[in-house]
A and B are shown apart, each in its own frame.
Chain A
Amino acid sequence: MSSHREAPAISKDPVADNTDTYAFVSPDDPGTVTIISNYLPLEAPFGGPNFFEFGDDVSYAINIDQTGDGTPDITYEFQFTTEVLNPNTFLYNTGQITAIDSPNWNRRQFYSVTRVRGGRREVLAANLPCPPCNIGPASTPNYADLAEQGIHEIAGGHTVFAGQRLEGFYVDLGAIFDLGDLRPFQNLHIATMMPAAPGVNATNDFGVHSIALKVPTQELTRGFFRPTDPMDRRSVIGVWASASRQRALIRETGSGEVQQAGDWVQVSRLGNPLFNEVIVPMGKKDLWNSLSPASDGQFLQYVQHPELASLLPVLYPGVFPHLAALTAARADLVAVLLTGLPAGVVPGFQNNTGTQYADELRLNVAIPPTTNNPNPLGVVGGDLAGFPNGRRVFDDVVTVELRAIAGVTYPLVNKAYVPDGAASAITDGLGAASTSYLPEFPYLGTPQSGYQTAPLATV
């Protein structure tokens, strides 16, 4: 998936598993940028009695690179604490939760927001309550209103939310990990030869835990630059999220307590969707999660020669002959994923941050949001406000990246190359209608309740 369970070590640590990162100019508040960082993949809404929550022992971070060197110039840190009102019950809630401070909510979570800039740490807010998970109509009636109480206006014109959301990333996992057997094209697949079929959204109705932060745009740009010209390099910021744990963990004998000590060590990160998932090989995924984007030069070869590009012609015999013959380094993918697109490639657009290779979402904040029929295919679909210009919650990043790897973006760097016809058609057969979103902050949809969600069905 985008980055759900994408590496061996972090797949065993879901509380710290950074699943998706989004960064976009807020469509309803264009003087701000919204950044969303998701954790805890594939939350089954009925997963009680210990419903999902952030880790008190995890340091969550949203990182901003203003200068293009692959290191953070601003970091927003989020630290959580959990409070249990009554430890003598097994219940998450002892009655209806109708308000975020309801005494019936037994296990509640609070968090602080700290901005680190120029070596200076500044606590922007503390003791902010998270909303509970969506349990069901008996426990959490009017859940949308309840969750809205978890939106906080804090110091410096920031708005923040941390809590459960409906998964916004849609993907046909079952098909993709079954040897890339994309249902709309499975009649052409080497293994199945089944008739073409619509895609199946594997994340349907699952929840996720989101940290959403809306920031005045000028706080994010170099020198508090006011962005008006998309071609000005200062209009581009790099964004990624991460999660860290302390170095030492000691399990006490006989008490169930856990002690932790030492420096914080990064265990998960995410800039571009699918980078660690699809580009980085198995033996280096845990390493990648531990590094800063400034170290991503060592993964350059995997971007220049992605494994998936060599697999597609094998899995779909005769469908990708031009891709099969393409052996040159994929400078198009390097630009999209590691440096940003330079000026002159797409008219009126650039999100280049220089020569430093770094996996970051690169957002040109001078590009206004598309409020009328935005195209989920983003820049590839002619909508400059979408991926890979940052990433909006509804962007169809699976299709965009499949098509890019299949060769549709290679003519950007070599006009003589003619992509295969299938390259501009390949998809897992899903779209933004596969899930639902909110038109305003925090933009990801209201999570499904446990009571109202049916277990998985077989297709």
Chain B
Amino acid sequence: MSDLTRRGFVKSSAGAAAGLTVLGALVTDQAEAKVQAHEKHPIVAYVKDPRTGEISVMTGEREVHVRDRKLAAQIARATR
């Protein structure tokens, strides 16, 4: 569901509280949908050198590069 559609749906709800409840549910649905999209493909994290903090995160044909020294160090520690 697009943001525009979701806002429209919330606006047309009878009360604010009810609307917030619905919005909360929709946000959760969206997060789950994102997780489900990832579940179609496994996620691979590649840490070539933990000292640099650079992590290549791959799923399907997508690959993003993040720099997170703390996470890279955590991953490295987990292998010990």
List residues of chain A with CB under 8 Å of any chain B CB: 246-248, 250, 259, 261-264
Contact = CB atoms under 8 A, between A and B. Distances in A.
B44 A248 contact: yes
A246 B58 CA distance: 10
Given A261-B42, A261-B43, A248 B58 contact: yes
Interface stretch (B6-14, B20-28, B59-67): B59-67
Contacts of A264: 61
Interface centre among A246, A248, A261, A264, by most chain B C-beta atoms within 10 angstroms, is A261
A246 B42 contact: no
B51 interface: no
A393 to B, nearest CB: 33
Interface string B34-70: 0000000111101000000000101111110000000
Contacts of A248: 44, 46, 58
Interface residues of B, number: 12
A247 B63 contact: yes
Contacts of A259: 41-42, 44
Contacts of B41: 259, 261
B42 A250 contact: yes
Interface of B is mostly: strand
19 contacts: A246-B61, A247-B58, A250-B44, A259-B44, A261-B41, A261-B42, A261-B43, A261-B44, A261-B58, A261-B61, A261-B63, A262-B44, A262-B46, A262-B62, A262-B63, A263-B58, A263-B61, A263-B63, A264-B61
A263 to B, nearest CB: 5
A250 B41 CA distance: 12
Contacts of B58: 246-248, 261-263
Contacts of A247: 46, 56, 58, 63
Interface centre among B44, B46, B60, by most chain A C-beta atoms within 10 angstroms, is B44
Nearest 6 A/B pairs, CB to CB: A262-B58, A261-B58, A248-B44, A262-B63, A263-B63, A261-B44
Contacts of A250: 42, 44
Nearest to B43: A261
Contacts of B61: 246, 261-264
Contacts of B42: 250, 259, 261
B79 to A, nearest CB: 16
Contacts of A246: 58, 61
Contacts of B63: 247, 261-263
A247 B57 CA distance: 11
A259 B56 CA distance: 16
Nearest to B59: A261
A88 B63 CA distance: 36
A247 B41 CA distance: 14
A326 to B, nearest CB: 45
B26 to A, nearest CB: 30
A334 to B, nearest CB: 36
Contacts of A262: 44, 46, 56, 58, 61-63
Nearest to B41: A261
B73 to A, nearest CB: 21
A281 B43 CA distance: 37
Nearest to A59: B61
A149 B12 CA distance: 58
Contacts of B43: 261
A262 B61 CA distance: 5
A21 B14 CA distance: 68
Contacts of A263: 58, 61, 63
A365 B42 CA distance: 46
A259 B61 CA distance: 12
Nearest to B46: A248
A259 B43 CA distance: 10
A412 B69 CA distance: 59
A458 to B, nearest CB: 48
B70 to A, nearest CB: 23
B41 to A, nearest CB: 7
A247 B46 CA distance: 10
A365 B41 CA distance: 44
A255 to B, nearest CB: 13
A335 B72 CA distance: 49
Nearest to A248: B44
A428 B46 CA distance: 48
A259 B58 CA distance: 11
Contacts of B46: 247-248, 262
A246 B59 CA distance: 10
A246 B62 CA distance: 10
A459 to B, nearest CB: 48
A263 B58 CA distance: 8
A258 to B, nearest CB: 11
Contacts of B59: 261
Interface centre among B41, B56, B61, B62, by most chain A C-beta atoms within 10 angstroms, is B61
Given A261-B44, A262-B58, A263-B58, 19 more contacts: A246-B58, A247-B56, A247-B58, A247-B63, A248-B58, A259-B41, A259-B42, A259-B44, A261-B41, A261-B43, A261-B59, A261-B60, A261-B61, A262-B46, A262-B56, A262-B61, A262-B62, A263-B61, A264-B61
